[in-house]
Amino acid sequence: MPKYQNKQIEDLSAELSAGLRRLKKSYVDAAESLVQMIEPDRDYPFEFVIFRITGYRTRRGQNMNSLVSGKTLRRDLLQLMIDVSDSFDLRTTDYAEPVYDNQALASHYSISLKTVQRWRNRCLPSRRMIFPDSKRRLAFLDSSVRWFVQNNRGQVVRSMKFTQLTLADRNDIIRRARRMISFTNCTLSDVARRLATRTGRAVETVRYTIRKHDIEHPDDAIFPNLTGPLDEQERSVIYRNFISGMPVPAIAKQYRRTRGSIYRIINEMRALQLLQRPIAYIHNTQFDKPNADAIIMAGIAPPDPPERGKPASRQPRKSGVDLPPYLSALYEVPLLAPDLEADLFRRYNYLKYKADKLRKQIDMNHVRTAQLKEIENLLLSANVIKNRIVRSNLRLVVSIAKKHMAGPLNLFELISDGNVSLMRAVEKFDYSRGYRFSTYASWAIMRNFARSVPREKYQLDRFATGHDEVLEIAAGLRGYDPAEMNVSELRESIDSMLTQLSPRERAILIDHYGLDETVQPKTFDQLGQSMGISKERVRQIELQALKKLRDMVEKKRAEPAK
C-alpha cells in the first residue's frame, strides 16, 4: 500500500524534508494543528493546506484549485509528520511536555501495544523523535494523546476496560482450549471465538494467548501445526485447492489454520503471480494525463449498430466458400473500421498500463484484496478486447496461409502457426503511428511463414531423402518397383539387408530414418549423444552402411537370372 494517497501531499512532504532544518519543527507542528481541525467529510483546497503548513499562499508549479478530501488529507498529513520529523534530529527535549514512546503510552493508559496501533490508525498524531537513550523511536506528545482521548472517548474507555491477563487467566484459557480441542476438530479461530464468549475476553486476546503458548512451548503446543509458517509447497497446494473450488473453511480445517490466515495465503499467492506475470504494453502520452480515464475509456462503444446507408465496418468478402465450415465462418465476422480499431488498441494498452502501474504498488507485507481484484479485472478487460481484435482478423491468417500451401505443412498447421503470430502482433502493434493493424499483422505472419515453412521443409527433406534411399536400395535388392512395392515385402527386404550390417550401423539406420515404427527419427546429434560419439562420426558410419547396401544391390543385379 502506498504511503501517500495524494501525490501533491507526497511531493510537499519531500520538499519540506529537504528544506531548512530550523523550519522543519514548525512544519511538523503546523501539520498536527491542521490534522486536528480537519473534518473527514469535507474537501479542502490544496492552497489552504500549503498556507496552513508553510505560511505561504502560493507555490509555483502546483494546481492551487485542486481539492483534497478530508479523510485522505488527515492520513497523508500524519505520514508527512513522520517523514519530515525523520529528516532531522528532533529530540524529546525540544518540547516542554511529556513525550511517550509506544511502550510508555501503553503502560500509562493500561492498554496493549496493539491498541496503540489501533489508536494510530484512528489518527493519533505521532513523530519520529530521539529519546534520552539516543535512540530514534515513534513518539507521542502528551497534548496529542489528550486531544485524541477527548475526541475518541468511547473507544478509549472500551480499550482501558480490558485488564491485563494474569497468569491464572492465561492458564485457564490454555486448559480450556486443550480440553476443547480434544473433543472436537476445531480450528484456532473456532476455539478463540468460543472461549471469548465464555471468558468475556476479546477474540484476539484469546487467539494471541494460545499462539504465544504454542510458540513458547512447541513440545506442548495445542496447535502444533501452527507454530511455524507454511513452506512454499504447502502454500502452493492451498492456492491450487482454492482455485479448484475447495471452500476456505474446508482448507482451514485441513491445515488447522484460521480462515483469515488461509485468505492471507491466497492473497499473497495471487499477488506473487501478478508480480511475476509479464505485462507488456505500448505506452502513449495520453495515458499520463489526469483525465485519461474520461478520454480513453469513454471512446467508441463496441459494437454499435451501423447507421442506415453507412456501415460501421467493412463488409466481409465472401472468400471462404472453398473452406471447411469452421474456417468459412470466420469470414462472417465483420472487419474493424479504422476508428474503432484504433480505439480498441488504445483501450487495450491503457488497461494494461493501469494494471502495471497498480501492480507496482503491491506491498507483500500488507496485501489488499480490493487492490488484487482491481488489477485482475483490468487484465481481464484487456484480454476481452484482445480476443475481439484477434477474432476480427482470423480471416487474415487463413488468407495468407492458403498462399503458402505449396510447402510441407497442411492448411490447419499453417493457420495454427499464423494464429500465434497474429496474437504476438496484437501485443506489439503501436496504433498511434496511424497504420492499419492488418498491414502490420500481414507482415508479421508472412515473415513467420518465411522462417517456419523452409525450416519444416528442411526437416522433412533431412529425414525423407535418406529414407527414400533406403527404400530404393531395398527395392533393388528384391527387384521390385518402389511405386508398386507391397509393405510386407518391403519390410522383409529391409530386414534382410540390415542383418548383414554391423550392430552399430544397423542401429544408426533404424533410428535415423525411423525404420522402426515405434521410434521417432533422431538427428545425428541425438544419436551421437546416445552412443557416446560425435555427430560427424555418426554421419560417417551411416555413409559407410549405405555404401554397403548399394554394393549389395549392385552385386544382386549382376547375378544372372535363374
Q: Please state the three-class secondary structure of 259-305 as a single string.
A: HHHHHHHHHHHHHHHHHHCCCCCCCCHHHHCCCHHHHHHCCCCCCCC
Q: Which domain holds residue 36?
A: 7-96+112-127+141-160
Position 495 in a domain? yes
Listed residues 449, 479, 507: the one ending a domain: 449
Residue in 372, 111, 159, 367 with CA at minimum distance from that of residue 260: 367
Specify whether 401 is located in the same domain as 370: yes
Specify whether 461 is located in the same domain as 445: no
Position 82 in a domain? yes
pLDDT in single tens digits along all 562 residues of the chain: 578 888 889 989 999 998 888 899 999 999 999 999 999 889 998 888 988 898 876 545 555 567 888 889 999 999 999 999 999 999 999 999 999 999 888 888 877 787 888 889 889 999 999 999 999 999 999 999 999 988 888 777 666 555 567 888 888 998 988 888 877 777 777 888 888 888 877 777 888 888 888 888 888 888 876 656 677 888 888 888 888 888 888 888 777 777 778 888 899 899 998 998 889 899 988 898 888 888 888 765 445 444 444 444 445 455 555 667 767 777 778 888 989 999 999 999 999 999 999 999 898 888 888 899 999 999 999 999 999 999 999 888 888 888 777 655 677 778 888 888 899 899 989 888 888 888 888 888 887 776 665 544 444 444 444 544 554 555 454 443 333 434 444 455 566 677 778 888 888 888 877 666 556 678 888 888 888 888 888 888 988 888 888 787 677 666 665 5
C-alpha cell at 234: 504447502
Listed residues 415, 449, 483: the one ending a domain: 449
Between CA 370 and CA 362 the distance in angstroms is 11
Position 224 in a domain? no
DSSP letter for each residue of 323-349: S-HHHHHGGGSPPPPHHHHHHHHHHHH
pTM beyond cutoff 0.85: no
Position 244 in a domain? no
Position 464 in a domain? yes
Specify whether 11 is located in the same domain as 155: yes
Specify whether 445 is located in the same domain as 468: no
The CATH number covering residue 474 comes to 1.10.10.10
Specify whether 466 is located in the same domain as 505: yes
Residue in 381, 491, 401, 489 with CA at minimum distance from that of residue 442: 401
**Is residue 418 within 8 Å of residue 451, measured between CB atoms?**
no
DSSP letter for each residue of 380-395: HHHHHHHHHHHHHTHH
Specify whether 32 is located in the same domain as 151: yes
Specify whether 377 is located in the same domain as 499: no
Domain count, the chain: 3
